Amino acid sequence: MQDMDRQRKIFIGKTIAVLAVIPVLIYAHAAGPDPGKSGAPGESTCAESGCHEGTALNGGGGGRVTIDAGGSTYTPGVKQRISVTVSDPAQRRWGFQLTARLSSNSKTRAGILAAVDGNTQVLCAAANLLEVPCNANPTLQFIEHTLSGNIITAVGAGRTYQFDWTPPATDMGPVILYAAGNAANGNMLETGDHIYTTTLTLNPASACPTGAPKPSITGVVNGASFQPGFAANGWVTIQGSNLADPAANRIWASSDFKGNLLPTSLDCVSVKINNKDAFVYYISPVQLNVLAPVDTATGPVSVQVTFNGSASDSATGQEQQFSPAFFIFNNDKYIASTHADGKLLGPASLFPGLTTPARPGVTVILYGTGFGPTSPAIPNGQILTGAANLTTQPTIRIGGVVVTPTFAGLSATGLYQFNVPVPASASDGDVPVIATIGGVSSPSNAFISVQK
């Protein structure tokens, strides 16, 4: 479909001067504009060049175009997924064009863009913006919607396009993504449409800006129970202020990994526990969630956050060999758990249409953290590629009845899983679950929902 769109676009572009027929012009633009319409410096958009007319550039009512690169950094040579979203409360047809340029020279291409589905296509151009066939090292490159990606939606629905960008293989300094979004009214004419522009600057992951306010840590707690104490290779929640950029609120993305290695930094935020790198999963200005490194230390250990080169004072966390806790839905009381078929376990009112209670006698799956060493041992900071059984077997009580897990161990990175039968004697309602391992018990305020 993409090749057909490109052939149609080239054919129409060659015949516009002869035909000069409005429907043909619309069809050409529906398949995407010519190169050089992303709003990069010295280039235009469809608002200025007459592709689409309606209001002045960025003059639509409440609309916008945004770029999401999963953060504000790039790792040289490592592919990352980019999203462009076009929105406008009054419009119903959407398109875009984006290009990546070096901040040091806006006329120089930065990296390689690639379509991942039939909704986008890549164009290449010479320095004068005339379209040329793409090769392995194009002078300039753009990505934009295709004809099939230029659909009509409900009014105000907006549209998100996704594609891949591979940064330059070496650190080339900041890169700027330039994007222009078209929010059209779908009237089959080139009038009444709104064009918006935006940019996103990505810095090399190794080059963090300086001058950020000093981070401050107010709490270091178990990432499941939110109580003091955590275990090696367990989830830890760090609370405080100035822990990340004021606008930061994200978890790790595939682009943050280097091969099978977990990220030790997200958007210039890093954490050390007992002077070892922790693995950063979630960042916000007031909370970080990290996976503790593999370590044999127990007792008080130092915890320190660094953001944009500014390090917090060391706080103290209590590292234990065992710090068992079950993850809880909505930080309420119901354990994050599923039925054996993977469907969510809980009262019907928890997540209406998604959760159902467990029946006595069936096997359910519970998830937690802090249950200690496994066999085989887990390599520090690597993605878990298979299951690993606990070396110390826990005692699990459901409604006061001891049950024997058919599996107890790690099933994913930092995630302990327990396949356990619900006792046949379990009564209807909220049934408490407590796990004890190495003489340490999980909090008593964790429940599953049971219904005969």
Closest CA to 216 of 318, 319, 291, 304: 304
Which tens digit of pLDDT belongs to each residue from 284-304?
999 999 999 999 999 999 999
> For position 18, what pLDDT does the model report?
28
The ranges assigned to domains in the chain are: 2-202, 216-320, 325-450
Work out the pLDDT band at 198, boundaries 50, 70, 90: very high
Whole-model pTM over 0.85: no
Helix or strand (DSSP H, E) at 5: helix 2-19
- Under DSSP, the state recorded for 35 is S
Residue percentage of the chain with pLDDT more than 90: 75
* Domain 2-202 class in CATH: mainly beta
Q: Do the strands 315-320 and 230-231 form a parallel or antiparallel pair, or are they unpaired?
A: parallel
* Whether the Cβ atoms of residue 146 and residue 29 lie closer than 8 Å to each other: no
CATH topology of 216-320 equal to that of 325-450? yes
> For position 239, what pLDDT does the model report?
97
Residues 6+ apart with CB under 8 A from 128: none
Work out the pLDDT band at 9, boundaries 50, 70, 90: very low
Work out the pLDDT band at 206, boundaries 50, 70, 90: low
Closest CA to 395 of 433, 344, 430: 433
CA 133 to chain centre: 33
Work out the pLDDT band at 25, boundaries 50, 70, 90: very low
Lowest-confidence region among 11-20, 144-153, 265-274: 11-20
Q: Up-side HSE of residue 37: CA atoms within 13 Å toward CB?
A: 25
- Burial call 132-142: b when 16+ CB within 10 Å, e when fewer: eeeeeebebbb
Q: Which CATH number fits domain 325-450: 2.30.30, 2.60.40, 2.70.98, 3.20.20?
A: 2.60.40
> For position 126, what pLDDT does the model report?
95
Which tens digit of pLDDT belongs to each residue from 125-144?
999 999 999 999 999 999 99
Fold of 216-320: Immunoglobulin-like (2.60.40)
Res. 191: pLDDT tops 90: no
Mean residue pLDDT across the chain = 89
